[in-house]
C-alpha cells in the first residue's frame, strides 16, 4: 500500500525542528510546499489537479462518459494550528490518495467523477476564521470580509493570496463547482479517545457541536510597574485574567467547553502595566442555546471585570458554525459499507470543526475517524498508529467503492 511513502514525503514540510510541531499556515512557503506536494502526488496518479477560485485544491479522476454525474469527493486540509500535529488534516488527504491507489490495485474504476480535495485555511491559524476556504466556496462568508482579514503582522488575506500567485478578486461562492459534488467524505484523526475505549480503529461522525470564536480587547492605561500605586492602576491584564477564569467556570456551569488559547499584550513590557490585552475565546457546546448562554455569561463577566478594573471592553464574534448533523443516509451507507469490509465503526459526535461541517449545508457529507490512542490533538503529541492509518485507507476505499464505483 502506498500510504507509508506518501506520508513520509509530506512529513518534513513545515515541521519546526525545535518543537516537532507543524507551522503550515496559508500562503506561506510551507503552504506552497504542501501545495506542490499535492500537485505532484496528483500528477503521479494521472489525476487532473487545479486550485479553485478560493485557493482550495482538487485532484480529479475524471470519468469522461459520466462527467454529468455528481462527483464523490474526499479529502481534508493541509494547513495546521501553531505547532500542530502531523495528522489533523493531512491524514485525510494522504489516505484519500492512498485509497485511490488501492482502488486501482483492485482493478476498480469510478463510474462517476472522484476527487481529492484539500481546503484552504481550515484552522484559521493565520487569518482567524476557521474553514475559510470551504466557507468561501459555500457562500458562508462575505468575500470582501475574507479579503480584508489580517494576520498578526497586518498582512491581508488578499495580499497574502496575491503574493502566492492567486487572484483574490475571484474569491467567493462557487455554486457550479458545488452542484457537481454529490457527496463529500472526510477522513480525520479522532480528536478525543472514544475509539480507544471502544476498541475500534475507525469511527463514523454523527454530528458536530456548534462552536465559534470571539475576540475581546480590554484597553486600559500603560504605566510604570514600580511607581504606580495599586489603587491608581487601570490594568487590562486583570480584566483579561478574570475573563479567562470566568470562561472556565461558565463552561462547567453550562456543560460546555470554553478555551482562551491566544492572547496578545501591548506593549508587552515586563516592567510596565499593559495598555491593552486581547484574548480570543473559543466556545463549543452540545446545542446552540447552551453555546449562546455560555458566551453571554462570559461576556457579562468580562464587562463586570472591565468596570471593576477601570478599563474598556470591545468584543466581536469572529466566526460561528451552527450544529451540524451529518447526512443520516450517507452515514448509514458508510457504516454498512464498512461492515461489509469487516470494519466495525461506532458512530460518534465531535466537538471539533471541519470543512465537512461547512459543506454539509450544500452537499451530503460524512466523516470517518481514525483512532487516536491518547486523544491529544492540536499538539505535536497527536498520534495514530500506522496500522490504524492503513485501516483508515481500507475503510475509505470501501466507502469510495460503494459511493463512486457502483
Q: Residue 95 or residue 319: which is nearer to ligand GLV going by CB?
A: 319
Please tell me the distance from the alpha carbon of residue 150 to that of residue 7, in angstroms, as a whole number: 32
Residue closer to ligand GLV, measured from CB, 338 or 384: 384
Question: Rounded to the nearest whole angstrom, what is the least distance from the CB of residue 293 to Mn ion in the complex?
Answer: 25
Q: Which of ligand GLV, Mn ion, none has residue 130 at its interface (CB below 5 to 8 Å by kind)?
A: ligand GLV
Which C-beta is closer to ligand GLV: that of 130 or that of 305? Answer: 130
Shortest distance, CB of residue 263 to Mn ion, whole angstroms? Answer: 20
Name which of 228 and 322 has its Cβ closer to ligand GLV: 322
Taking the least distance from each CB to ligand GLV, the nearer of 110 and 212 is 212
Residues 52-91, one symbol each (x = binds Mn ion by CB under 5 A, - = not), give ------------------------------------xx--
Q: If binding is defined by CB under 5 A, does position 190 make contact with Mn ion?
A: no
Residue 117 binds what, of ligand GLV, Mn ion, none (CB under 5 to 8 Å, by partner type)? none
Q: Phi and psi of 360, rounded to 5°?
A: -60, -20
List the single partner that 168 binds among ligand GLV, Mn ion, none, CB under 5 to 8 Å by kind. none
Per partner kind, with CB cut-offs from 5 to 8 A, the member of ligand GLV, Mn ion, none near residue 121 is none
Q: Which residue is nearest to Mn ion (CB)?
A: 88
Nearer to ligand GLV, 257 or 343 (CB): 257
User: CB of 123: closest distance to ligand GLV in angstroms?
Assistant: 6
Contacted by 110, from Mn ion, ligand GLV, none: CB < 5 to 8 Å by type: none
**Least spacing, CB of residue 402 vs Mn ion, in Å:** 24
Label each residue of the chain as H, E or C.
CCHHHHHHHHCCCCECCCCCCECCCCCCHHHHHHHHHHHHHHHHCCCEEEECCCCCEEEEECCHHHCCCCEEEEEEECCCCCCECCCCCHHHHHHHHHHHHHHHHCCCCCCCCEEEEEECCCCCCCCCCCCHHHHHHCCCCCHHHHHHCECCCCCEHHHHHHHCCCCHHHCCCCHHHHHCEEEEEEEEECCCCHHHHHCCCEEEEEEECCEEEEEEEEECCCEECCCCCHHHCCCHHHHHHHHHHHHHHHHHHHCCEEEEEEEEEECCCCCEECCEEEEEEEEECCCHHHHHHHHHHHHHHHHHHHHHCCCEEEEEEEEEECCEECCHHHHHHHHHHHHHCCCCCCEEEECCCCHHHHHCCCCCEEEEEECCCCCCCCCCCCCCCHHHHHHHHHHHHHHHHHHHCC
Taking the least distance from each CB to ligand GLV, the nearer of 34 and 158 is 34
Q: How far is the CB of 119 from Mn ion (least distance, A)?
A: 9
C-alpha grid cell for residue 299?
461576556
Q: Which is nearer to Mn ion, 90 or 236 (CB)?
A: 90
Smallest distance from the beta carbon of 96 to ligand GLV, in angstroms?
A: 18
* Binding stretches for ligand GLV (CB under 6 A): 123, 130, 352-353
89 binds, among ligand GLV, Mn ion, none (CB under 5 to 8 A by kind): Mn ion
Point out which residues bind Mn ion (CB under 5 A). 88-89
Amino acid at each position: 500500500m502506498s500510504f507509508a511513502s506518501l506520508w513520509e514525503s509530506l512529513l518534513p514540510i513545515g515541521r519546526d525542528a525545535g518543537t516537532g510541531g507543524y507551522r503550515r499556515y496559508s500562503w506561506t512557503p510551507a503552504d506552497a510546499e504542501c501545495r506542490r506536494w499535492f500537485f505532484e502526488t496528483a500528477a503521479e496518479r494521472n489525476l487532473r489537479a487545479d486550485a479553485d477560485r478560493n485557493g482550495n485544491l482538487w485532484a480529479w479522476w475524471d470519468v469522461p462518459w459520466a462527467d454529468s454525474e455528481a462527483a464523490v469527493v474526499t479529502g481534508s486540509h493541509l494547513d495546521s494550528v501553531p505547532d500542530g500535529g502531523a495528522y489533523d488534516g493531512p491524514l485525510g488527504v494522504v489516505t484519500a490518495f492512498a485509497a485511490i491507489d488501492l482502488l486501482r490495485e483492485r482493478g476498480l474504476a469510478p463510474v462517476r467523477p472522484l476527487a481529492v480535495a484539500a481546503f484552504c485555511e481550515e484552522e484559521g491559524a493565520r487569518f482567524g476564521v476557521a474553514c475559510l476556504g470551504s466557507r468561501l466556496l459555500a457562500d458562508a462568508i462575505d468575500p470582501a470580509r475574507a479579503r480584508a482579514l489580517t494576520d498578526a503582522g497586518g498582512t491581508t488575506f488578499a495580499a497574502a493570496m496575491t503574493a502566492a500567485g492567486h487572484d483574490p478578486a475571484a474569491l467567493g461562492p462557487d455554486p457550479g463547482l458545488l452542484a457537481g459534488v454529490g457527496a463529500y467524505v472526510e477522513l480525520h484523526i479522532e480528536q478525543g479517545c472514544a475509539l480507544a475505549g471502544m476498541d475500534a480503529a475507525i469511527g463514523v461522525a454523527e454530528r458536530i457541536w456548534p462552536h465559534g470564536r470571539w475576540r475581546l480587547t480590554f484597553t486600559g492605561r500603560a504605566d510604570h510597574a514600580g511607581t504606580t500605586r495599586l489603587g491608581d492602576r487601570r490594568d487590562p491584564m486583570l480584566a483579561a485574567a478574570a475573563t479567562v477564569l470566568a470562561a472556565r467556570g461558565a463552561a462547567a456551569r453550562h456543560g460546555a467547553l470554553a478555551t482562551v488559547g491566544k492572547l496578545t499584550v501591548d506593549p508587552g513590557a515586563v516592567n510596565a502595566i499593559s495598555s491593552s490585552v486581547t484574548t480570543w475565546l473559543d466556545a463549543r457546546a452540545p446545542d446552540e442555546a447552551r453555546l449562546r448562554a455560555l458566551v453571554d455569561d462570559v461576556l457579562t463577566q468580562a464587562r463586570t471585570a472591565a468596570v471593576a478594573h477601570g478599563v474598556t471592553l470591545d468584543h466581536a464574534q469572529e466566526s460561528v458554525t451552527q450544529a451540524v448533523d451529518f447526512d443520516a443516509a450517507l452515514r448509514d451507507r458508510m457504516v454498512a459499507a464498512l461492515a461489509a469490509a469487516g470494519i466495525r465503526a461506532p458512530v460518534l459526535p465531535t466537538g471539533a470543526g471541519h470543512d465537512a461541517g461547512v459543506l454539509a449545508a450544500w452537499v451530503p457529507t460524512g466523516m470517518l475517524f481514525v483512532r487516536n490512542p491518547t486523544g491529544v490533538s492540536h499538539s505535536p503529541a497527536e498520534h495514530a498508529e500506522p496500522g490504524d492509518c492503513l485501516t483508515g485507507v481500507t475503510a475509505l476505499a470501501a466507502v469510495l467503492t460503494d459511493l463512486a464505483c457502483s
